A and B are shown apart, each in its own frame.
Chain A
Amino acid sequence: MNETLPSYRHAFPSMGSTVEILLVSHNAAEQEALTTFGLAERLAAEWERTFSRFTPESEISRLNARAGRPVPVSELLYAAIEIALDGSRLTGGLFDPTILRALAGLGYDRTFDEIADDGRQWLSPTPAPGIAGIRLGPEQRVVTLPSNTHIDLGGVVKGLYVDMLAGSGSWVGGAISAGGDLRVWGIPPTGDRWIIGVEDADDPSRDAAQLHLDRGAVATSGTNRRAWRRGGVLLHHLIDPRTGLPAERGIRTASVFGATAVQAEIAATALVVGGLEDPVVRSLIRQAVVILDDGEIVTVRDAMGGQVDVINLTSCATIAA
């Protein structure tokens, strides 16, 4: 076990959630930490300006407003769209960036804090149009959305942000979390391995499990967060693109391990939408911790072998993964 190393922690609100950063150094490095934290905040602001669907001036809002026409976009937006389209193809459409109209029809048409059950009914479910009609022009970085298609990149951008920052600078180790998406690298401040708490779906002040790992990413998606009532019915933001309705697979939260945060984020969404038995999901997941609606914790491990030790804190017993 290594000795306790100097470490620096910072948290700030962004992208509708909280960004947390932990940096580890061999020596005291407060000034360098402040520099890194400041850059992280500015990068988050750039993300907001590019990807917020709740800001009419954001680049993605301007792209959606011009659906049906070719639109030149920034390198950042183009790269994120490429990743989202890859994610949709890889998950057989379980992850789908074209669910925006379905989300809006269910009432998630404003920031989550502004949603209220004002007595309105939801609109008829709107199955996602899918990505087949989206055209990319890489040479000029032009994106053409079909006229009936609006996109939401909320399913990849936090993971992309985490991946961009992870490993940057001269830190010997670190951890970055944006909402449910986090990545760890290098040496932890104490101990030999990183220890990640998995939020208890019933009590966010507690952890339901711990993940012990050397490096990598974990993303958690769930139906217990970003849930709202519309017309008296409880809804959530993880939409099944095939129906346009919130997914109902008996899963409250899914924490998925991956090499990168954006991989894990896409796979976690696909798991909640498709369920544990979906063959595409099972081909994607290497290791995961799933909390079912009844509170049971299920660990999932690919035959290739995982790198994460899972400790179930609800019984304080190690799960044989």
Chain B
Amino acid sequence: MTTNLGETRHGLPRGIDHLGMTSTHASQNEAATRETRLKRLILVGALASFLSIFGLTIAVDHQQAQVSSETTNVSANAPLVQRNSAAGIAQPQIRTRTS
């Protein structure tokens, strides 16, 4: 590992588990499998149950009423965030905030 403080690391052991926080192909595959399984679980469970209860058409109508006031079509060239207007710095498309 290197930092801009000039630190170097070699050969430190990596943990291996199905969160996939390693660089091995096996663990990456395992992480992908787990994520796929979780997505299926959640989408088939929570979202599908929602859709089955309310129906997609009704859901769409309701969602339009709820979210349209907050939804913005940003297909124009205007950046999403206007900050750090220094020359040569592109505008970010999204920000990571401290949590």
Cα–Cα distance between A285 and B95 once the two chains are bound (Å): 20
User: Are B23 and A298 touching (Cβ within 8 A)?
Assistant: no
A299-B3 CB under 8 A given contacts A197-B83, A282-B12: yes
User: Are A199 and B93 touching (Cβ within 8 A)?
Assistant: no
A4, A90, A225: the one within 8 Å of B75 (CB): A4
User: Are A177 and B95 touching (Cβ within 8 A)?
Assistant: yes
Instruction: Assign chain B's interface to a size class.
Output: 35 or more
Cα–Cα distance between A30 and B71 once the two chains are bound (Å): 9
Residues of B within 8 A of A12 (CB): 67, 70
Is A46 positioned at the interface, with any CB of B under 8 Å from its CB?
Answer: yes
Of the listed residues A42, A158, A177, A194, the one surrounded by the most CB atoms of chain B closer than 10 A to its CB is: A42
User: Are B19 and A300 touching (Cβ within 8 A)?
Assistant: no
Residues of B within 8 A of A313 (CB): 84, 86, 89
Residues of A within 8 A of B46 (CB): 42-43, 46, 76
Which of A's residues lie within 8 Å of B, judged by CB? 4-12, 17-18, 20, 22, 28, 30-31, 33-35, 37-39, 41-43, 46, 75-76, 79, 83, 86-87, 89-91, 158, 160, 163-164, 168, 175, 177, 179-182, 184, 188-191, 194-199, 201, 204-207, 210-211, 218-222, 224-226, 253, 255, 258-260, 262-263, 266-267, 276, 279-280, 282-286, 297-304, 311, 313, 316, 319-321
Which of B's residues lie within 8 Å of A, judged by CB? 1-5, 9-10, 12-15, 17-21, 23, 28, 31, 35, 38-39, 41-43, 45-47, 50, 56, 59-60, 62-64, 66-68, 70-77, 80-81, 83-84, 86, 88-99
Q: How many A-B residue pairs have CB under 8 A?
A: 247
Residues of B within 8 A of A75 (CB): 41, 45
